[in-house]
Amino acid sequence: MLSQRPHLAPNGAAVLTKALTLAILLVQFPGAAISSQLDAQTIIQRSVAANQTDWDAAPGYSFQETDRDAHGSKTY
Q: E strands along the chain, which residues?
A: 66-69, 72-75
| pLDDT recorded at residue 13 | 72
Residues 14-70 have pLDDT tens digits of 777 888 787 787 777 766 666 667 789 999 999 999 999 999 999 999 989 999 999
Specify the pTM: 0.41
CA-to-CA separations, 65 to 14, 73, 74, in angstroms, rounded: 53, 10, 8
